[in-house]
Chains A and B, each alone.
Chain A
């Protein structure tokens, strides 16, 4: 089902794990060299900065292509523009398939942008045709982004797909009537929790193919779980959606329940994360802690903002400083020392080994590519 070769994805995963093992000093350079030599991956992921540039340039090319087609067809009616947008989305998708098939682009900036552009075009087309039906929009977008995330193992698409599913279920449930309106937050919390545990299950099986997708969806499901029970979100959203005209201090039914959720969930994440040694949980908990503080501040602003900031800042400094000092010597399986202290040196070693291993091979490979004179290599030949 994936656009990439499974063994390529597996080899890439092995290379990553081996690199980590090298960084922590578990394996020798010789071993590392052996591993990456026996696990060559054809996937093309360029340097970080190059990826950004490729992404930007792809946006330029696609936007101007859309402009050109629009001018050319002089589409003005709703139907014509919808057709044009769908055509552009298909064009993006086909280009993406061809690029991945021929050049194995994998998170190269280009493929990510093409995918997002396809989704943007589809959503705009849907927005023109089904302006008020969010149900239709979210369900179609969900299926398309789900397909993209499965086929190209893309984390961002996985997030979009999850969010669309979430919105879709929420809107669908609201159709059920008054009881549904009252219990919607609880149901959405159940959905998030279910998604979290399902994804955790999949993680054990499909680790090396979908590691980024899985991590991304886990984080988002933690956030949606909290958001569904957050007092501010429940109150303001029902205010907006059901036109209740509640003021800031008028209570909502079961307000205490949502306050409990708001207050308990972030610390629970942190504590559970510390016990399980799961950084995703700890960091999500820390971020959501800030959301809880803002929620409390919104309804019970006792002190002026700067005093609150001052107190919060002092507490933060005190706590983090004590913890840094406390964990200087490793305790309970944690340490505040930087374990990757000599990372830069190791990065150099790694780069050298990779260069040594692949330098001859790449030249040989590119030679054969040029000799073949295939359509794909044509452009590069010109610059060579």
Chain B
């Protein structure tokens, strides 16, 4: 802290003597290298795990699949055993992790679990053609893990798994293999999943069951929902106006909610996604005018005007949110 500045403030009688002494004594307080050391530790863990992965991959012929699977399973089990032993148990409130290793070990265990299941499915085809089951089982385990040990990172993993599972269940395997993601079942699955996740976020918040998970649910839900809505609009060309109305409605609800909860983040993403939708409609309408120079000019002018307009809108709502305080 800037001592001369506070000396000046003390002279102006803005801070009293005790407070000035507090500030002066700050100079002698120890500096925190908490995050620096954590970052180094994390970097080290990433290096070791990546290197191990490469080593195993290169030596797979000498090791054999069985040995490898046993090693992965053993380490994974070890991780979970450690976590269960050290865990503070389940609680509806936020549970702080017991020591510095806990979070990393849990994450490692979960990643190894996914590797293990993917491996046996790939090598021995254990689930046969029921790919849905291969995604469903780890998903359930991950959700239980995330809730029991209170780990937001694992929760994100399980939501990603849920999305994969929903995508797989929604499509015949053939389409997935052809990598054709522009098809209605996937889009509808996305819509349902997104809406579902947003709904879950409200439930956890109101029932106060791990309320700090709400943001993760809502974040995933909002992005999936908006992207699916935009995909819906571009896919069903002939009824895109109806899809746009749906997008605008969802956008409006999110907008209201962002204002209510004073969330700058959701305000911004809602505005940007809705803006993409509006721009799509405008370009579509302009393209009806044929390929003349006039629609091109109009389109460019639209982007300039809408850009400036949205800037003004955001500045305006920034002011309102600030007035209501919050983070």
A binding-site residues for B, Cβ under 8 Å: 13-14, 17, 20-21, 24-28, 31, 34-35, 38, 46-50, 52-54, 56-58, 60-61, 64-65, 67-68, 71, 110, 207-208, 277, 279, 282-283, 286, 305-307, 309-310, 312-321, 323-324, 327, 330-331, 333-340, 347-348, 351-352, 354-355, 358-359, 362-363, 366, 379-380, 383-384
> Do A21 and B23 have beta carbons less than 8 Å apart?
yes
Q: A47-B318, A306-B54 are in contact. Are A317 and B300 (CB under 8 A)?
A: no
- A52 smallest CB distance to B (angstroms): 7
Cβ of B86 within 8 Å of any chain A Cβ, yes or no, is no
- B143 smallest CB distance to A (angstroms): 26
The 5 closest A-B pairs by CB, nearest first: A316-B44, A313-B47, A355-B325, A61-B307, A313-B48
Measured in the bound complex, the distance between the Cα atoms of B294 and A71 in whole Å is 11
A-contacting 9-mer, from B11-19, B128-136, B238-246 = B11-19
**Interface residues of A, dominant DSSP:** helix
A-contacting 9-mer, from B2-10, B199-207, B227-235 = B2-10
* Cross-chain pairs A/B with CB under 8 angstroms, 18 sampled: A21-B23, A31-B15, A46-B314, A52-B268, A53-B314, A306-B50, A307-B51, A313-B50, A314-B44, A315-B44, A317-B48, A321-B100, A333-B31, A335-B34, A355-B322, A355-B323, A362-B322, A380-B316
Residue interface mask B214-250, A partner, CB < 8 A = 1: 0000000000000000000000000000000000000
List residues 264-314 of chain B with CB under 8 A from any CB of chain A: 264-265, 267-268, 271-272, 293, 296-297, 300-301, 303-304, 307-308, 310-314
Q: A31-B15, A53-B268, A319-B40 are in contact. Are A359 and B323 (CB under 8 A)?
A: yes
The closest CB in chain A to the CB of B321 belongs to: A47
Interchain CB contact (< 8 A) of B33 among A49, A314, A335: A335
- B223 smallest CB distance to A (angstroms): 14
For A339, the chain B residues whose CB sits under 8 A away are 29, 32, 34
> Do A335 and B31 have beta carbons less than 8 Å apart?
yes
Interchain CB contact (< 8 A) of A17 among B6, B29, B314, B319: B6
**Interface residues of B, dominant DSSP:** helix
> Do B32 and A335 have beta carbons less than 8 Å apart?
yes
> Do A327 and B300 have beta carbons less than 8 Å apart?
no
For B264, the chain A residues whose CB sits under 8 A away are 47-50
Measured in the bound complex, the distance between the Cα atoms of B304 and A32 in whole Å is 43
> Do A14 and B41 have beta carbons less than 8 Å apart?
no
Cβ of B257 within 8 Å of any chain A Cβ, yes or no, is no
The closest CB in chain B to the CB of A283 belongs to: B36
Q: A20-B1, A50-B268, A354-B325 are in contact. Are A31 and B16 (CB under 8 A)?
A: yes
Interchain CB contact (< 8 A) of B323 among A310, A312, A362: A362
Query: How many residue pairs bridge A and B at CB < 8 Å?
Result: 216
> Do A53 and B271 have beta carbons less than 8 Å apart?
yes
Interchain CB contact (< 8 A) of B5 among A14, A48, A317, A379: A14
Q: A49-B265, A283-B36, A319-B40 are in contact. Are A26 and B311 (CB under 8 A)?
A: no
For A56, the chain B residues whose CB sits under 8 A away are 272
> Do B45 and A317 have beta carbons less than 8 Å apart?
yes
> Do A320 and B32 have beta carbons less than 8 Å apart?
no
Measured in the bound complex, the distance between the Cα atoms of B321 and A22 in whole Å is 23
Measured in the bound complex, the distance between the Cα atoms of B50 and A303 in whole Å is 16
> Do B6 and A21 have beta carbons less than 8 Å apart?
yes
> Do A31 and B14 have beta carbons less than 8 Å apart?
yes
> Do A61 and B41 have beta carbons less than 8 Å apart?
no
- A50 smallest CB distance to B (angstroms): 5
Interchain CB contact (< 8 A) of B55 among A17, A306, A335: A306
- A123 smallest CB distance to B (angstroms): 23
Measured in the bound complex, the distance between the Cα atoms of B112 and A88 in whole Å is 54
> Do A61 and B304 have beta carbons less than 8 Å apart?
yes
- B19 smallest CB distance to A (angstroms): 5
> Do B311 and A58 have beta carbons less than 8 Å apart?
yes
Cβ of B52 within 8 Å of any chain A Cβ, yes or no, is yes
- A377 smallest CB distance to B (angstroms): 11
> Do A362 and B319 have beta carbons less than 8 Å apart?
yes
For B123, the chain A residues whose CB sits under 8 A away are none
Measured in the bound complex, the distance between the Cα atoms of B16 and A315 in whole Å is 49
The closest CB in chain B to the CB of A384 belongs to: B316
> Do B2 and A17 have beta carbons less than 8 Å apart?
yes
- A238 smallest CB distance to B (angstroms): 32
Cβ of B26 within 8 Å of any chain A Cβ, yes or no, is yes
> Do A64 and B32 have beta carbons less than 8 Å apart?
no
For B316, the chain A residues whose CB sits under 8 A away are 380, 383-384
For B323, the chain A residues whose CB sits under 8 A away are 355, 358-359, 362-363
Q: A277-B31, A352-B325 are in contact. Are A306 and B301 (CB under 8 A)?
A: no
> Do A333 and B314 have beta carbons less than 8 Å apart?
no
- Looking at B28, B29, B300, B313, the one whose CB has the most chain A CB atoms below 10 A away is B300
- B306 smallest CB distance to A (angstroms): 8
Measured in the bound complex, the distance between the Cα atoms of B2 and A208 in whole Å is 10
Interchain CB contact (< 8 A) of A54 among B46, B311, B321: B311
The closest CB in chain B to the CB of A360 belongs to: B323
Q: A50-B268, A324-B100 are in contact. Are A317 and B301 (CB under 8 A)?
A: no
Q: A47-B321, A327-B33, A338-B32 are in contact. Are A347 and B44 (CB under 8 A)?
A: no
Q: A46-B315, A50-B314, A380-B312 are in contact. Are A64 and B36 (CB under 8 A)?
A: no
Q: A320-B37, A336-B37, A359-B323 are in contact. Are A50 and B318 (CB under 8 A)?
A: yes
For A17, the chain B residues whose CB sits under 8 A away are 1-2, 5-6
> Do B300 and A61 have beta carbons less than 8 Å apart?
no
Q: A277-B31, A317-B41, A338-B34 are in contact. Are A46 and B48 (CB under 8 A)?
A: no
Measured in the bound complex, the distance between the Cα atoms of B34 and A323 in whole Å is 10
For B23, the chain A residues whose CB sits under 8 A away are 21, 26-27
Interchain CB contact (< 8 A) of B32 among A48, A286, A336: A336
- Looking at A60, A277, A352, the one whose CB has the most chain B CB atoms below 10 A away is A60
